[in-house]
Structure 1
């Protein structure tokens, strides 16, 4: 039986919805599952006795903590990567139409999420270390020392104003330029492209993600607020100005905490 015409959708979901809508639906479903899991975890934490003493974390606890961080990063960062993922998929469809080699978009997405998996590993170790020296509440997962919260806010605010932040944000906001300048053929190439784009996004947003230690890692309103900032920075026309304004606001917040703690 002959296959679909060159460049035509080949999967049932693509035939039903179209390739772009199918990809957006898959990204939305994955994001929804992540947020649903986070909501369940937050409800579980909220139901626990705040006075309960948490035992020291063992290897099993650290693995679960890493999984929590990675799922959170997927839920927070995947929506803002949608334009890049759609651009990669569109280029691959054109290559398929010209009978050139093409690869599944899932490989690019896997590379992107691998970059945030690396951040999740570092965040897990940071949380474990901060809890070990009583600078982070095991239950609220928020900084217990005002000076630490102030330091994180100041660091994030200052980073928002740096050339490195601006450069990484520019690459995140220009999917076509990234594809043109960083294209790699083959499955390994797609994975490397996704990883590379994830590292640029990491360079753009990692300090903002560290602010989860300020408002609480399981504070869903705080998680949603940071997600909204990332989305505005990356997707809207005034995103670059949003980054600068947020930077100034974070610096003011951090200075206010320092002055209040005197």
Structure 2
């Protein structure tokens, strides 16, 4: 006689999470959005005290990384909230409220670690471009054109599509990670999803070189674009439209200084 094993809600954390009460689900959403809102407040407050200038604006690496993480959290977490909440639903039945919050925080920490690595590369790139503009102000025109062109070409390329597809439909990978041993699993899930998010959005962050790293309007526009790419049903088409728009800006950049506020030489008083 054949024995049929019927899975229970405890067999798989993501299935178990389907029973997460609405109140707990609201708490998970609120936690992610509060972190994002706090990051926006910190980022805007700092940006108001700084001018849009080439390079790292005189910041040392530790301060730059702090501001980079705040900016990243502000721009990325709203679009990551559905994935974080999905994972929180998956761990809900096996954890108390406090443990659930801790594990969700661990997921977000892993996500931000991936973007911290990008921040280190960004600091090096900004240092280089800042030095080039200081030596030759006209170099900013071609740096800006190259940044827009890189973003445009990547938006239209296959790797962008692969990473965007994962960010829009991450369930298969979350199920895969649910089978891993619990030790540091939430951190690894956040890191893994963060790596795909980097693959999806790093070229958009490159656009901040010509537009200005602390340009609030540019940050808000890119954050909206990232949000719509990941969550709107026409997100992939919007990504391609943005790619074409960046290529147009690449052609215009050498002749239109207003497109390059982040590459204008700083004017030192005499």
TM beyond 0.5:
yes
Contact in 1 for aligned 2:129/2:143 (Cα 8 Å)? no
Structural mapping, 1:220-235, within 5 Å: 220-235=216-231
**Once the 2 structures are TM-superposed, how far is the Cα of residue 233 of structure 1 from its aligned partner?**
0.2
Contact in 2 for aligned 1:107/1:190 (Cα 8 Å)? yes
Residue 230 of structure 2 aligns to a residue whose secondary structure is helix
Match of 1:22 among 9, 19, 27: 27
Tell me which residue corresponds to 2:182.
Answer: 186
Tell me which residue corresponds to 2:169.
Answer: 174
**Once the 2 structures are TM-superposed, how far is the Cα of residue 144 of structure 1 from its aligned partner?**
6.5
Contact in 2 for aligned 1:115/1:198 (Cα 8 Å)? yes
Give the Cα–Cα distance (whole angstroms) in 2 for the partners of residues 55 and 64 of structure 1.
10
**Once the 2 structures are TM-superposed, how far is the Cα of residue 182 of structure 1 from its aligned partner?**
3.5
Structural mapping, 1:67-146, within 5 Å: 67-95=66-94, 104-134=103-133, 145-146=140-141
Give the Cα–Cα distance (whole angstroms) in 1 for the partners of residues 241 and 143 of structure 2.
22
Give the Cα–Cα distance (whole angstroms) in 2 for the partners of residues 55 and 94 of structure 1.
46
**Once the 2 structures are TM-superposed, how far is the Cα of residue 20 of structure 1 from its aligned partner?**
1.4
Residue 45 of structure 1 aligns to a residue whose secondary structure is coil
Tell me which residue corresponds to 1:140.
Answer: none
Provide closer, same or farther for how the CA distance between residues 162 and 113 of structure 1 changes in structure 2, counting only shifts above 3 A: same
**Once the 2 structures are TM-superposed, how far is the Cα of residue 106 of structure 1 from its aligned partner?**
1.7
Give the Cα–Cα distance (whole angstroms) in 2 for the partners of residues 117 and 111 of structure 1.
10
Report how many aligned residue pairs link the two structures.
Answer: 234
Q: 1:173-208 deviations in whole A, cap 9, x for unaligned? A: 013222123333314122111101000000000010
TM-score by length of 1: 0.79
Residue 158 of structure 1 aligns to a residue whose secondary structure is helix
Contact in 2 for aligned 1:232/1:239 (Cα 8 Å)? yes
The unaligned stretches of length 5 or more in structure 1 are: 1-5, 8-13, 138-142
Contact in 1 for aligned 2:229/2:236 (Cα 8 Å)? yes
Give the Cα–Cα distance (whole angstroms) in 2 for the partners of residues 68 and 102 of structure 1.
24
**Once the 2 structures are TM-superposed, how far is the Cα of residue 130 of structure 1 from its aligned partner?**
2.0
- Using CA pairs below 8 Å that are at least 6 residues apart, which structure has the higher relative contact order? 2
Residue 133 of structure 2 aligns to a residue whose secondary structure is coil
Structural mapping, 1:235-254, within 5 Å: 235-254=231-250
Give the Cα–Cα distance (whole angstroms) in 1 for the partners of residues 173 and 93 of structure 2.
17
Tell me which residue corresponds to 1:34.
Answer: 39
| Alignment root-mean-square deviation, CA | 3.2
Q: 1:21-70 deviations in whole A, cap 9, x for unaligned? A: 11111112111111111111121114x9x9xxx9995xx72211121111
